[in-house]
A and B are shown apart, each in its own frame.
Chain A
Amino acid sequence: MSRQRLSGWGRTTPGVFDVETPDTEELVALELAKSSGAIARGLGRSYGDAAQLSGGLVIANRSLNGLGEIAANGVVRVGAGVSIDELLAFCIPRGWFVPVTPGTRQVTIGGAVAADVHGKNHHRDGSWGDHVLEMRLVTPTGSLTVSPTTQPDVFWATIGGMGLTGILTSVTLRLLKIESDQVLVDTTRYAQLDDVMAAMVEGDDEYRYSVAWVDCMTTGASMGRAILTRGDHATRRDIADATLRAPSPARLRVPFDAPAGLLTPLTVRAFNEAWFRRAPRRREGEHQSLGAFFHPLDGVKDWNRLYGPRGFVQYQFAVADAQAQCVVRAIERLSSSGVPSFLAVLKRFGPANHGPLSFPISGWTLALDVPVGPAALPDLLDDLDEMVIGAGGRVYLAKDSRLTPAAVRVMYPRLDEFLEVKNRVDPRHQMASDLARRLNLLGK
């Protein structure tokens, strides 16, 4: 056991707590039974305070690292502490890919379940939880096997449940068959937000993967200019001598915290301008490696330090198709506020799954990073909350570090359903995190 001071990826609200790293399900159960409060932690990629419990116990999952054989139908059982990076290193050479990947490979399988992560293929394939067949979950009232057919309410409360139903030890999921380590990518640049959104509504269904980078710092005619990249796995028909190599590790790293004043509206605007200009107006069928296409930021280790010692927040919301205007208004608000925001990510979501706290809902999602610092930022994000609530949307808990309990209750109308399950498997409210305390998700 060690006492550590850790925070989320946004580095905003560190806490000090005991950390245990059990390597078997039995030890996990033992640690949980001894503690008065605990939460699992993987690679600490949730942005806020989801994977920490100040003054309590954090159960690190990284030693739960078993990797089973991949069955002929792509089904594999992996330890909850295995990272997507490690899983890819194992499965790509064997011709398999993860069914869903977020923007970084540096998340654990347990974390992927707890946040019900999504990727560029949500509009087609849904989120992480849609590909999970079975899980082992250590709850304060016992260790369970859960699946969409065995204790389905516990299964779905755990999908996107932010770790608050128990500690995951292993996950059985179905992988995606691939024939190469390349993606065929079409890139198009749009001078206006309306154009890119129209193009996505019209054409996304033809691609497995689709995402747009939107500039939230330009105003006027070029407000919301964007770069849309869409693609699918290259097959042997596309590349005759296709290889199956795992993504390479990061070659660069940020060795120290950048000074607090580095990210100003001016520098961020310059970066966005360069990023936009660099993209081709239109290019089709470009070959990109899996790593370059899915995880461009993984090329730079510790990139969160670029935001300086005060850290940053990420704001991601989702609204239904009929509320597309909410996306437009949010980008208008941001670009006129002068708050420096790097390129935001705009994407279309397919239908929601059964998880009561799962984030994705059919329609649009927009995600943006902003450094902590501008005095107007807290109120600006509160205004965006109101706008999102007004549009019947929600904010992603895995990225959150500033919502209110009242807002969460409205954004996630099935919260009580989740709390009912939590109270059943955890009647003494042992599963807790700083996020759960802040947002009143303990079920007390």
Chain B
Amino acid sequence: MENAFAQPQNVVVLGGSSDIARAIVKKLCAARTHTVILAGRSQALLDDAAREALDHGASRTDTVIFDAEDTTSASETVRRCFDKVGDHVDLVIMAVGRLGSQSQDQNDVVAATRMMNVNFTWPVAALTEVRTRLVAQGSGRIVVLSSVGAVRVRGSAYLYGGAKAGLDRLCEGMADSLLGTGVRLQLVRPGVVRTKMTEGLKDVPFTTGVNEVADNVVRGLTHADRVIWSPPLLRYVFALLRHLPAPLWRKVMDR
């Protein structure tokens, strides 16, 4: 069960080897988290993340392998994760995503579809299953890793940004649908974060490390805010950027 400070005991991570998810899990384990179930694509990476969780205070971890390109695997994956917890699930972190390579994918129908499946369809299918289960539990939390790139989609990353935008908007509605159910959904919109996913990208303003994002997420759990921005200042920066006239927006963002 979660305590008064929004510190969960049982956590499921979908996309368990995501660098941001791992940084969040480390902080949760240092507080009250004792059971962590990590689901992802690569056993080796998940084992690594599981070891890290144990090092930081978890007492039980387990892993589930799935492929986000296969959208039919979502509900089965969630079921297996919940079964492995075998108790009340306090928090589900949705960290499935792939940045892809826009320049290659935009001319490839299969690759573009794959980007939608991994970043949108699989997460939505899984969240549907998670939602049902948490509502039946009468309490629980969902944290969905979105991106500031979802606020206004850039021409140079429209596949990733577009899929995230779909997920982000859908989750805003899902969060509203959960009012009164005891379940809460929060979106995380980080700026560029230095992770293995963004390796090779150049630092832009407001680039942060994963620990800063994790700090903001853990703090955000204790607030009622629907959206956790990281760094928090981006809330105001994007309030401005999303209303920039298109030519100016392109000039600023798609250099």
Which of B5, B136, B137, B180 is in CB contact (< 8 Å) with A402?
Answer: B5
- Alpha-carbon separation in the docked complex, A309 to B87 (Å): 28
**B contacts with A, residue count (CB < 8 A):** 23
- Alpha-carbon separation in the docked complex, A372 to B222 (Å): 8
A369-396: CB near B (< 8 Å → 1, else 0) gives 0001101011000000000000000000
Which of B7, B136, B139, B180 is in CB contact (< 8 Å) with A378?
Answer: B7
- What's the least CB distance linking B25 to chain A, in Å? 17
Which residues of A are found within 8 Å of B180, using beta-carbon distances?
5, 16
Residue in B closest to A310 when the chains form the complex, CB atoms: B222
Task: Let me know if B4 and A372 touch, CB within 8 A.
Answer: yes
Which of A54, A311, A372, A402 is in CB contact (< 8 Å) with B138?
Answer: A54
Q: Which of A402-443 contact B (CB under 8 A)?
A: 402, 404, 434-435, 437-438
Task: Let me know if B138 and A16 touch, CB within 8 A.
Answer: yes
- Alpha-carbon separation in the docked complex, A5 to B136 (Å): 13
- What's the least CB distance linking A244 to chain B, in Å? 41
- What's the least CB distance linking A274 to chain B, in Å? 28
- What's the least CB distance linking B127 to chain A, in Å? 19
Given the interface pairs A54-B138, A401-B4, the reply to whether A15 lies near B182 with Cβ below 8 Å is: yes
Residue in A closest to B32 when the chains form the complex, CB atoms: A404
Q: Which of B1-34 contact A (CB under 8 A)?
A: 1-5, 7, 9, 31-32
Task: Let me know if B224 and A54 touch, CB within 8 A.
Answer: no
Residue A129 lies at the interface, judged by CB distance under 8 Å to chain B: no
Task: Let me know if B1 and A13 touch, CB within 8 A.
Answer: yes
Task: Let me know if B5 and A378 touch, CB within 8 A.
Answer: yes
Task: Let me know if B32 and A54 touch, CB within 8 A.
Answer: no
- What's the least CB distance linking A57 to chain B, in Å? 11
Which residues of A are found within 8 Å of B87, using beta-carbon distances?
437
Given the interface pairs A15-B139, A17-B138, A55-B138, the reply to whether A438 lies near B3 with Cβ below 8 Å is: yes
- Alpha-carbon separation in the docked complex, A438 to B222 (Å): 18
Residue in B closest to A378 when the chains form the complex, CB atoms: B5
Q: Which of B202-248 contact A (CB under 8 A)?
A: 219, 222-224
Which of B1, B136, B182, B224 is in CB contact (< 8 Å) with A438?
Answer: B1
- What's the least CB distance linking A337 to chain B, in Å? 15
Task: Let me know if A13 and B2 touch, CB within 8 A.
Answer: yes
* A-B interface contact total, Cβ < 8 Å: 70
Secondary structure of the A contact surface, majority rule: loop
Which residues of A are found within 8 Å of B5, using beta-carbon distances?
372, 377-378, 402
- What's the least CB distance linking A8 to chain B, in Å? 9
Secondary structure of the B contact surface, majority rule: loop
Which residues of B are found within 8 Å of A10, using beta-carbon distances?
4
Which residues of B are found within 8 Å of A13, using beta-carbon distances?
1-4, 139
Given the interface pairs A55-B136, A310-B222, the reply to whether A16 lies near B182 with Cβ below 8 Å is: yes
Residue B88 lies at the interface, judged by CB distance under 8 Å to chain A: yes
Q: Which of B149-207 contact A (CB under 8 A)?
A: 180-182
Given the interface pairs A372-B222, A402-B3, A402-B4, the reply to whether A56 lies near B31 with Cβ below 8 Å is: no
- Alpha-carbon separation in the docked complex, A372 to B224 (Å): 12
- Alpha-carbon separation in the docked complex, A14 to B4 (Å): 10
Task: Let me know if A437 and B139 touch, CB within 8 A.
Answer: no
Residue in B closest to A434 when the chains form the complex, CB atoms: B1
Residue A85 lies at the interface, judged by CB distance under 8 Å to chain B: no
Given the interface pairs A311-B4, A372-B222, A434-B1, the reply to whether A14 lies near B88 with Cβ below 8 Å is: no
Which residues of B are found within 8 Å of A48, using beta-carbon distances?
4
Given the interface pairs A10-B4, A55-B138, the reply to whether A378 lies near B31 with Cβ below 8 Å is: yes
- Alpha-carbon separation in the docked complex, A378 to B3 (Å): 10
- What's the least CB distance linking B214 to chain A, in Å? 14
- Alpha-carbon separation in the docked complex, A404 to B3 (Å): 9
Residue A181 lies at the interface, judged by CB distance under 8 Å to chain B: no
- Alpha-carbon separation in the docked complex, A438 to B6 (Å): 12
- What's the least CB distance linking B184 to chain A, in Å? 10
Which residues of B are found within 8 Å of A373, using beta-carbon distances?
222
A242-285: CB near B (< 8 Å → 1, else 0) gives 00000000000000000000000000000000000000000000
Which of B9, B31, B139 is in CB contact (< 8 Å) with A54?
Answer: B139
- Alpha-carbon separation in the docked complex, A16 to B5 (Å): 19
- Alpha-carbon separation in the docked complex, A310 to B3 (Å): 13
Given the interface pairs A5-B182, A10-B4, A402-B3, the reply to whether A15 lies near B32 with Cβ below 8 Å is: no
Residue A49 lies at the interface, judged by CB distance under 8 Å to chain B: yes
Which residues of A are found within 8 Å of B139, using beta-carbon distances?
13-16, 54-55, 434
20 interchain pairs, CB-CB under 8 A: A12-B3, A13-B3, A13-B4, A14-B182, A16-B135, A16-B182, A17-B138, A48-B4, A54-B139, A54-B182, A55-B88, A55-B138, A310-B222, A313-B4, A372-B5, A401-B4, A402-B5, A435-B1, A438-B2, A438-B9
Residues of A participating in the B interface, judged by any CB pair closer than 8 Å: 5, 10, 12-17, 48-49, 53-56, 309-311, 313, 372-373, 375, 377-378, 401-402, 404, 434-435, 437-438
Residues of B participating in the A interface, judged by any CB pair closer than 8 Å: 1-5, 7, 9, 31-32, 87-88, 135-139, 180-182, 219, 222-224
19 further A-B contacts with Cβ under 8 Å, apart from A377-B5, A402-B3, A435-B1, are A10-B4, A15-B138, A16-B139, A16-B182, A17-B138, A48-B4, A54-B1, A54-B88, A55-B136, A55-B139, A309-B224, A310-B222, A311-B4, A378-B31, A402-B4, A434-B139, A438-B1, A438-B2, A438-B3
